[in-house]
A and B are shown apart, each in its own frame.
Chain A
Amino acid sequence: MSTVVAAPAAGADRSGAGRSRRRGEQEQSGKLFNRLAATCVTLFALIWLVPFLWALITSLRPNDEIAANPTTPWSNNWNLDAYSYAWNSSPLGWWYVNSFVISTLTVVFTVVVSSMAAFALVNLDFRGKYIVFGLILAGLMVPVEALVLPQFLEFRALGLLGTYWAVVLPSVALPVALFVFHSFMKAIPVALIEAARLDGASWWRIYSGIAMPLSRPAISAVAILTFITSWNAFLWPLLVLTQTKSQTIPVGLSSLVGGSAIQYAETMASAVLGILPLLAVFLVLQRQIAQGVANTGIK
C-alpha cells in the first residue's frame, strides 16, 4: 500500500521555471493521485463487505449445495429454510427480548443518572464537589473489564446473579457518560440558569426543563453508544446469565460457534439474525453514531 501512496511524489525540482506550468502538473498528479486513492480505498471497502455478504449468501443456500460447492456465491435453490430452522432450534426470540430489555434499561439509567450528576457538578456548589469530581475522573482509568471476578463475587453476595439487574447495574455509572454530559452542560450559558433561578424555578425544574432539552445531542450520543455497548457486551453477561433462556444475543450465539459442522446455512442464518437489529439501527443512525464515537471515544 505504501507504494501506491508514494508514487505521485513528483515535483521535487524547485527551479521555478514557470509557476503556472508547475501548477498544471500538480493538478495532473493530484488527479492521478485521487484516482489511485479512490480505486484502492473502494477495493478495500468492498473486501470489508465480503463477510456480511458471505454470511447472507450462505444462509440462503441449501446445505448440500454448500457442501458440494463451498465457495460459489450462487445457488440454484435460494430459500429461507435455514432461518426458520435457526429460529426454532434456539431460543433466539428470548435472546432478543433479553438483549432489548437489558440494553434499554441500561440506556435509560445511564442517561438519567449521569446527566443528573453532571448537572450537579456543573451548576451546583455543593460541599466536596471537587473531591467527587476527582474521584470520578480517576474512574476513567479503571478498566472495568478486568474486574469481572470481584464483581461476580459481589453480585453473588447480593443475590442478584441471573437477573437483568446483574447486567444493568455495573454498566450504568460510567465516568465517560458523565463527562460527555459535563462538557455539554458547561456550554449552557450561566445567565440562562440564573434567570430561571430568579424566576423561582427549582433545581429539578432547571435540570429537566432547561439543561436536558439543551443537551439533546449529548443525550443521543450517550444513548446510542450505551445501547450498542450494552447490546454487544459478552464476558459479563456470559458470567451472570447462566440459564439458556435468560441469555443475551451475543452469549447465546457464542454457544453455536464450533457446533455442528454440517449446518452451515443454519449457523450463518443465526449470525445474520444476530447482526440484524443493530445493523438496522446503524443504517438509520449512521451519522449520529459516527459523530458520537468521534466526540466521546467510547469503545
Chain B
Amino acid sequence: MTATALPAPTTGIEATTRHASAGRAPRSENRAGWLFATPFLALYLAFLIGPVVIGLVISLFNTTTVRSGIGSWVGFSNYADVLTNADFWASMWHSALFTLLTTPILVLLPLLFAVLVSRLGRGQWFYRLAFFAPYVVPSAAVCLIFAFMYTPETGLITNAFGWFGLTAPDFFGSTSGAWFAVVLLTVWWTFGFNFILYTAALQEISEEVYEAATLDGAGPWQQIRMITIPLLRPTIGLVLILQVLSSLKVFDQIYILLTGGPNYTTRPVIQYIFDTGFSAYRGGYAAAATMVYFVVLVLVSVAWFLVRRRSNSADA
C-alpha cells in the first residue's frame, strides 16, 4: 500500500550507481524490474518499516490501546517516563541476564559437541536427530513438558536432583530456581540450532588437513586446538551474535512457563511492553519502551556488522 509513496531516486546516487553499466536501462526492463520488486517492497514497507514509523509516532502521543485514534501530543514525556521507570530497567536487566546466562552455554557446548561428533565416523544422523529435533517443537509444547518435569516433589527433574543427593530449587517459587528452569529449558530447546551451524562449518574443513596433522604427530586434542578451532572462528562469531540477538528477544519460554514470575523477577522486556501496552493499555508509553529496546537491538546488530567488516577487510 505504501509502494506508491516510494521516493523517486535522487539523481546524484543514480549517476554513481549507474556509472558502471553502459547506458540507461531500457524502459521495458525498468518497468519489469519494478513490477517484480513491488509485491515484496509493498509488504516490506507496510509491515516491517511501517511499524517502526508508527512506533516512533505513537511514542510521542498518549495513545491508549483500548480506543482507536492516537490521542494527543505529549512530546518526549513517554521517553522520560520509560527511562526513569524502575520496572522497565528491571525487565531490560532480565533480558540481559537471560542473555548472559544462556549465551556462553549455547555458544560453547554445541561447539564442543559438534567437534566431537565430527570426529566420529558413524551415527551422525542419530546425533543430529537427538540434538536438532527440539528445534521444531513449539515453545508451548516445550513448556508443557518441562513444567511437568519441574513439578515439585513428583517431577522428573525435581527427582533427578535427589539421585545426586541434591535438593531441587523451587522452580516456580524462587527467582534463582525460575532462572535455572528457564535456562535449562532453553538450552535443551535451542542447542540443536547452533550445533547444526557448527556441524556445517566443520564439514567444510578438508580431511587432508587432519591427515597431514596426524602424520606430523599431532594428537586429537592438538588438532582440535590448532586446526579446528582457528578455522571455525568466523562461525563462532556468527553463532555468538545470532545467539545474543535471539536471547535478547526472549519471551515465549519465560511468559508461558513463569509469566515473568515469581513476582515479575524474571519478566523480560518484551513482556513488559506486552503488559504495559495490552494489559494496562498505555500504548504511547509502551511504544516509547519499544523504541528504546529497538535501538538497543539495532545497535548490537550494527556493532556486529562493523566488527565483521573490519575483520573481513583485515583478512583480505
The reply on B174 being an interface residue by CB < 8 A is no
Q: Does A153 contact B (CB under 8 A)?
A: yes
Closest to A142 in B: B48
Per the bound structure, the CA–CA distance linking A172 and B126 in Å amounts to 33
The answer to whether B43 touches A169, judged by C-beta atoms less than 8 angstroms apart, is yes
Q: Does B140 contact A (CB under 8 A)?
A: yes
Across-interface contacts of A157 in B (CB, < 8 A): 68
Known A120-B36, A143-B249, A293-B197; contact A149-B44, beta-carbon cutoff 8 A: no
B138 to A234, Cβ gap below 8 A? Answer: yes
Query: Residue B264 at the A interface, CB < 8 A?
Result: no
B17 touches A130 (CB 8 A): yes
Docked Cα-Cα span, A263 to B122, in Å, equals 41
Least CB separation from B130: chain A residue: A45
Pick from A8, A113, A151, A297: contact of B40, CB under 8 Å:
A113
Within 8 Å by CB of B219, from A33, A55, A140, lies A33
Q: Kindly list chain B residues whose C-beta atoms are within 8 Å of the C-beta of A1.
A: 112
Which residues on B are within 8 Å of A, measured CB to CB? 6, 8-9, 13-14, 17, 21, 25, 29-34, 36-37, 39-44, 46-52, 54-55, 58, 63, 65, 68, 112-113, 116-117, 119-120, 123, 125-149, 151, 153-156, 159, 188, 191, 193, 196-197, 199-201, 214-215, 217-222, 224, 238, 242, 245-246, 249, 251-252, 255-257, 270, 273-274, 277-278, 283, 286-287, 290, 293-294, 297-298, 301-302, 305
Residue in A48, A125, A139, A147 whose CB lies within 8 Å of B131: A48
Q: Are A235 and B149 in contact (CB under 8 A)?
A: no
Q: Which residues in A have their C-beta under 8 angstroms from that of B270?
A: 145-146, 148, 235
Query: A41 to B257, alpha carbons, bound, how many Å?
Result: 29
| Contact indicator per residue, chain A 60-93, by CB within 8 Å of chain B (1) or not (0) | 0000000100110000000000000000000000
Cβ contact within 8 Å between A143 and B297: yes
Residue in A10, A34, A261, A267 whose CB lies within 8 Å of B119: A34
Q: Using a CB-CB cutoff of 8 Å, which residues 149-169 of chain A contact chain B?
A: 149-154, 156-157, 169
Question: Helix, strand, loop or mixed for chain A's interface?
Answer: helix
CB-based contact B221/A271 at 8 Å: no
Contacts of A48 in B (CB 8 A): 130-131, 134, 188, 191
Structural contact, B30 and A147, CB atoms closer than 8 A? no
The one of B144, B154, B220 in contact with A34, judged by C-beta atoms closer than 8 angstroms, is: B220
Which residues in window 268-299 of A have CB below 8 A to B? Answer: 268, 270-271, 274-275, 278-279, 281-283, 286, 289-291, 293-295, 297, 299
Picked from A9, A34, A127, A258, the residue with its CB within 8 Å of the CB of B30 is: A127
Of the residues B32, B50, B132, B286, contact of A290 by C-beta under 8 Å = B132
Known: A121-B37, A157-B68, A270-B144. A290 touches B128 (CB 8 A): yes
